[in-house]
Amino acid sequence: MEFYPVAIEKLIEEFAKLPGIGYKTAQRLTLHVLNLPKEEVSEFAEALVKARGTIKYCSICGNYTDTDPCSICSNPNRENSIICVVEEPKDIMAVEKVRDFNGTYHVLHGTISPMAGRGPNDINLKQLVSRMKDNIKEIIVATNANVEGEATAMYISKILKPFDVKVTRIAHGLPMGGDLEYADEITLAKALEGRKEI
């Protein structure tokens, strides 16, 4: 395709590299950018470089942060004897939205996945173990409810056995508003297994 000038083709290519963005969408985004005021485009470009440049990982929990430790780890009002272990920084946001959890977090940046060739050393586990010295009472493993997430949860519970710490897993079951009829067998089995007296 050589109908666009090089600079436009280049920007289309860059947009098309982003996940979930194909050539047509990249083209649409590029033409949108060409119609923006120059200052807005510079601001966008600057935000890109700045976000990538200034962001580091919190040395305690592994979350993205601009200060070290991050705002959650350094907050004296949070109970730092309870750690919620999540796969990715965006999962922290999901839990924070519930406004029900006042502990701290630990970001694994991935899961153990033999299929994808990721072992325990490829995720942020060592740091979690080293946090055990700080008088931790409970570790809530909030990895995703899929094969990798479950395997990772099992592994964490195993390596934390030597420490005097309660390791819990978030509950699996029917989602709220969920219809029994449409629930898959595994979810339903988990829901039955996790039944509680009322």
- Region from 37-45, 125-133, 162-170, 172-180 binding a second copy, contact rule CB under 8 A: 37-45
Q: What six digits make up the tokens of 136?
A: 């931790």
Return d(Cα 174, Cα 145) in angstroms, integer: 12
Using rule CB under 8 A, residue 33 touches a second copy = yes
In the bound state with a second copy, the residue whose beta carbon lies nearer, of 65 and 155, is 65
* Residues with Cβ within 8 Å of residue 11, at least 6 apart in sequence: 30, 33
Instruction: Please name the residue that has the structure tokens 């890109």.
Output: 48
Using rule CB under 8 A, residue 77 touches a second copy = no
Q: How many CB atoms lie within 10 A of CB 27?
A: 18
- Which residues within the stretch 104-123 sit at the binding site for a second copy (CB under 8 A)? none
Using rule CB under 8 A, residue 32 touches a second copy = yes
Q: How far is the CB of 197 from a second copy (least distance, A)?
A: 36
Using rule CB under 8 A, residue 36 touches a second copy = yes
- Region from 45-53, 126-134, 141-149, 157-165 binding a second copy, contact rule CB under 8 A: 45-53
- Region from 66-74, 115-123, 132-140, 159-167 binding a second copy, contact rule CB under 8 A: 66-74
Q: How many CB atoms lie within 10 A of CB 135?
A: 10
Sheet (strand 82-86) strand order: 104-107, 82-86, 138-141, 166-169
Q: Which residues partner with 61 through β-bridges?
A: none
Q: Which of 16, 41, 151, 167 binds a second copy (CB under 8 A)?
A: 41
Using rule CB under 8 A, residue 7 touches a second copy = yes
In the bound state with a second copy, the residue whose beta carbon lies nearer, of 46 and 79, is 46
Return d(Cα 181, Cα 94) in angstroms, integer: 27
DSSP, res 26: H
